Structure 1
Amino acid sequence: MAIERHVERLIRYGLQKELISYLDIEYTRNRLYEALHITHPEVSEQKENVSAASLSDLLAPIYEWAAETGRIAADTDTYRDLLSAKIMGCFAPQPSEIVRRFEETKAVHGPEQATKAFYRFSEDVYYIRSDRIKRNVGWTAETAYGKLDITINLSKPEKDPKAIAAAKEQPQSDYPRCVLCKENVGYEGRPDHPARQNLRVIPVILGDEQWFLQFSPYVYYREHCIVLKDRHEPMKISKKTFDRLLSFVSQYPHYFLGSNADLPIVGGSILSHDHFQGGNYEFPMARAETESRYRLPDYPKTVLGIVKWPMSVIRLQSESASELSGAADAILRAWRGYSDEAADLLACSGETPHNTITPIARRRNGLFELDLVLRNNRASDEHPLGIFHPHQEVHHLKKENIGLIEVMGLAILPGRLEQEMKYTAEALCSPDPEAVLTADLSASKHKDWALSVLHKRKVTKENAEQILKEEIGHAFARILEHAGVFKQTEEGRAAFRRFIRHLGALPEKSPIP
């Protein structure tokens, strides 16, 4: 099929998804020709049926043609992504038009319908890579803390050696300064920076500041959004953070919104640009119950609870967003300077701070709710990657930072585990599991853990993979326990209560003086 026929199929797709109208056909066709460097097209009047074709199927032959004709440097994920963003940018209206539609939908049908329509648009223009997201492997695992969500991440493309080499040859650029900056909207990209011609963002006022809402291209849960500051400023957890979070959930009560912590090890992967993550999803931590409840004398309308969770979580609830923010700030300030050597907890080493908080805001039953997850990033000789970080015993499954999403109970495990777990399951059913696991480089890292599973459970060919999934869930619960500053022991619970008393909190039934 000639390339012009593939262009016509894309135009039919754009019409079906209502990205363009019939009045836009010639304009869009010419923009596609320009994007693909087609200077002498042979246009056919034949209409192309695309009803059974996905967007990825429509783009696949164009990638192949582009590689064969030198339109892209190599037929790799990096260069296909650069091309697909350029192509689908031809279907994306001007940013002001998208904002106009969003605000109109919000005014008529409410914020939930507005975000849903914006999400669908982001999928239709292939900013959200739905075809790749479907590759992820996911399940739930029952643990002592309720059901946890487990995902093996297969959606993000692997590092492209050709693109890495090409990037080294290019002049270094700090535009955009990072992948979160607002300047990414419409940016053509380069081998070391993703293309964003199909990205659109929605302005959001938080307090008196300008922020923007967009979706993650590789969503981990329903309507996984990012809310980013209009300026490239580093993350900093403060009272302003709580005010911003509560302002957002006031405007979008169907969404939660949270922030990674602002220190290395316990923070997210991008600490240089202040941003939040949210979405229309209930995480396992949100379903967790509070074990004990307290009142803060200075904040009489706010209830404080200790959450039954492997990490150390204080849950605040109030009808008043302003009082809730004040209470959260008081806890943050107290936590920044709090040490408890009996719990191996030091607030700082010299001038280096260790204590911070991962906050998450939501609305529940008409109340404002803030979960404050206590974090500490100190390292030691025994735990050089972090005392409150996944320990060596679980590094065969995960050794990366525990960020906001995993704090809330959704494991994002490396893609290598898909094949490694299949091989491990086969090895456990072999006549000599230890020898088989030892002999394979990719599976040998799992040997001790896999053999411990074999000792405590009856593994067969029929149940091996399911048992490993369940045990990965249990291991994820241990990973979260490792990251918890107050451990799930009598000593740890007593240490947590000492901090609650340090705050001046009183049991809920006690009279507020």
Structure 2
Amino acid sequence: MMQATGGIERLLRFAREKGILEAADVRFARNALLSAMKMDAPAPADVPADWAPPPTATPILEELCAAAVARGIIEEDAFSRDQFGAHLMNLLTPPPSVVSARFASLCAERGVEAATDWYYAFSRATDYIRVDQIARNVAFSAPSPYGELDITINLSKPEKDPREIARQRAMPQVGYPSCQLCLENEGYAGRPGYPSHETLRTLPLTLGGEAWRLQYSPYCYYPEHCIALNERHVPMSISRRTFDLLLDFVGQFPHYMLGSNADLPIVGGSILSHDHFQGGRYTFPMDRAQPWTRLAHPDFAAVHAEAVRWPMSCLRLRSASREALVAAADALLSAWRIYSDPQADILSESGEGRHNTITPIARRLAGEYQLQIILRNNRTTPEHPLGLFHPHEDLHHIKKENIGLIEAMGMFILPGRLRAELTGLRAYLTGARRLDRPQENDMLHKHYDWVETLAAAHGTGLSEDEAERVLREAVAAKCVRVLEDAGVFKATPQGDAALLRFLAVAGFRPVRA
């Protein structure tokens, strides 16, 4: 009981010092925590005056979860601990109306950047943003012909415990919330197979006259990784309205970028059923890419346009006028929707449906609005049944999933299995393991042809650090290939000529220097 009481008092102190809990609410919150811990009364457990609260509530919640397991309140698996920890933190977290009012007050008094600084710190402190799990990720940058790429091996989403999987299988199917982005998630306790959102607090947002919400991603892949989501459960759809919404957002939050995944399978993100955008405060590798030609359109003199030297076909449009920028972007989208060029393998539609769409990203830069528009096509062929403009089969041992907004801009989120697999491959390059083809059930089997090529180029007597460098650079080379496969017009003289053919149809022509 002493362990539980000490944890309760430290959690209360933490919440007070982080501005989560008001002094007048401490007694009420203490009793709520006692009830959750199945305790009738607290035991004496003073927190030392010089006690320094941790950056987030995680270590205190872990201590209380361990006590709850010992007292038979919860099971020992990871889901039960996560769910119970979120429940304890929710008992101290103010309701959505209070959080929204605080954000609005900060916006009015100190500006929107100070308000998002507070909201981000709040979301981290309440453990909604899983800072501890994000820290497990393996992140590095590696050179490429297009500039440095950002690569993350994603270890932040924990593996499911077999006991959790068994419980999930036995649970009845539930259709609530409708999806992971619906507003019904706010405060939802979760269930086996569906994570807790008890400490989620979203902010009301108006975009293009529509009701939207803002929140941070619980597994931030980059600083202040946020999600803007439609209050209605409506599917993703790219249109002129999309540009209006994106530019409206960056007009309100000029320190953030905001982009949309494409609205078609294969080239879209993992959730197409709920209209949403992703943003944050980060400069992506694509943002640093240089133009290879400047463009002009006779109808949009106020818009500066350029084609970007990037493995995916990217057009960058800038203007001080939102209206002109939206009109120019819509002209580009309208032309692309119906554009076909069989010589370049581009078909706008087939018996499978329409194929051409875009991935748009908005920013404010030096007083101007910017839209970067990545051209996408989701057609399949017998040779490439998962997508012609999708990572081809020889890359699937590294990356098989859809190339969404984040990867398209040069930040790769790779599966967590790669950490152990790259460690195993390192043993080949250092000579700790013989360069023999492993059995088919060995996790390294799918990588063997690749590592054999690396060993031929670099030898098998590398130091651990040398082997790590070689593997990271080789992973980056695979990531470049992923982007090149996903690019509709290849970054070659022939591809550049094909892109210019399309741009001419859309009314954009190169500007002579």
What TM-score comes out, normalization by structure 2 length?
0.95
Q: Secondary structure at the match of 2:114?
A: helix
- Within 2, Cα distance between the matches of 1:222 and 1:201? 18
- Within 2, Cα distance between the matches of 1:434 and 1:493? 41
8 Å contact from structure 1 (residues 12, 50) kept in 2: no
Aligned to 1:66: 68
Choose 194-203 or 50-59, whichever is displaced more.
50-59
8 Å contact from structure 1 (residues 303, 508) kept in 2: no
Q: 1:44 to 1:392 in 2, by over 3 A?
A: same
Shift of 1:184: 1.3
After the TM superposition, which residues 72-83 of structure 1 pair with which residues of structure 2 at under 5 Å, given as runs?
Answer: 72=74, 74-83=75-84
Q: 1:113 to 1:431 in 2, by over 3 A?
A: closer
Shift of 1:440: 7.6
Aligned to 1:255: 256
- Extract unaligned runs of 5+ from structure 2: none
8 Å contact from structure 1 (residues 427, 436) kept in 2: no
- Within 1, Cα distance between the matches of 2:351 and 2:3? 68
After the TM superposition, which residues 31-42 of structure 1 pair with which residues of structure 2 at under 5 Å, given as runs?
Answer: 31-36=32-37, 38-42=38-42
Aligned to 2:129: 128
Aligned to 1:377: 378
Choose 184-193 or 81-90, whichever is displaced more.
184-193
Shift of 1:507: 2.2
Which among 479, 483, 486 is matched to residue 482 of structure 2? 479
- Within 1, Cα distance between the matches of 2:166 and 2:234? 30
Match for 2:467: what amino acid?
A
Q: Secondary structure at the match of 1:227?
A: strand
Match for 2:398: what amino acid?
L
Q: 1:148 to 1:351 in 2, by over 3 A?
A: closer
Deviations 1:123-144 (A, max 9, x none): 1100000001000011111111
Deviations 1:71-111 (A, max 9, x none): 22x32222122111111111211211111111121122221
After the TM superposition, which residues 224-303 of structure 1 pair with which residues of structure 2 at under 5 Å, given as runs?
Answer: 224-303=225-304
Aligned to 1:496: 499
Shift of 1:351: 5.8
After the TM superposition, which residues 339-354 of structure 1 pair with which residues of structure 2 at under 5 Å, given as runs?
Answer: 339-350=340-351, 352-354=353-355
Q: Secondary structure at the match of 1:301?
A: coil
Shift of 1:16: 2.2
Deviations 1:185-211 (A, max 9, x none): 111221132222211111111111011
- Within 1, Cα distance between the matches of 2:279 and 2:387? 26
8 Å contact from structure 2 (residues 9, 45) kept in 1: no
Deviations 1:288-307 (A, max 9, x none): 11110111122221122111
Shift of 1:399: 0.7
8 Å contact from structure 1 (residues 82, 189) kept in 2: yes
Choose 342-351 or 273-282, whichever is displaced more.
342-351
- Within 2, Cα distance between the matches of 1:247 and 1:193? 33
Match for 1:47: what amino acid?
V
8 Å contact from structure 1 (residues 95, 200) kept in 2: yes
- Extract unaligned runs of 5+ from structure 1: none
Aligned to 1:397: 398
RMSD (Å), alpha carbons? 1.8
- Within 2, Cα distance between the matches of 1:289 and 1:433? 44
- Within 1, Cα distance between the matches of 2:427 and 2:440? 13
Shift of 1:32: 1.4
Shift of 1:437: 5.1
After the TM superposition, which residues 99-178 of structure 1 pair with which residues of structure 2 at under 5 Å, given as runs?
Answer: 99-178=100-179
Shift of 1:166: 2.3
- Within 2, Cα distance between the matches of 1:463 and 1:8? 49
Shift of 1:433: 4.5
Q: 1:179 to 1:431 in 2, by over 3 A?
A: closer
- Within 2, Cα distance between the matches of 1:46 and 1:506? 73
8 Å contact from structure 1 (residues 290, 307) kept in 2: yes
Q: 1:197 to 1:50 in 2, by over 3 A?
A: farther
Aligned to 1:46: 46
Query: Runs of 4+ in structure 1 displaced over 4 angstroms?
Result: 436-440
- Within 2, Cα distance between the matches of 1:449 and 1:69? 51
Match for 1:490: what amino acid?
P
Match for 2:299: what amino acid?
D
Q: 1:335 to 1:398 in 2, by over 3 A?
A: same
Aligned to 2:16: 15
Shift of 1:45: 5.2
Q: Secondary structure at the match of 1:328?
A: helix
- Within 2, Cα distance between the matches of 1:358 and 1:61? 44
- Within 1, Cα distance between the matches of 2:260 and 2:32? 39
Q: Percent identity?
A: 47
Aligned to 1:463: 466
8 Å contact from structure 1 (residues 13, 50) kept in 2: no
Match for 1:29: what amino acid?
R
Aligned to 2:335: 334
8 Å contact from structure 2 (residues 3, 67) kept in 1: no
8 Å contact from structure 1 (residues 424, 437) kept in 2: no
- Within 1, Cα distance between the matches of 2:42 and 2:92? 21
Aligned to 1:318: 319
- Within 2, Cα distance between the matches of 1:351 and 1:47? 65
Residue 500 (structure 2) pairs with residue 506 (structure 1): no
Shift of 1:438: 5.8
Q: How many residues align?
A: 508
What TM-score comes out, normalization by structure 1 length?
0.95
- Within 2, Cα distance between the matches of 1:458 and 1:110? 57
Q: Secondary structure at the match of 1:98?
A: helix
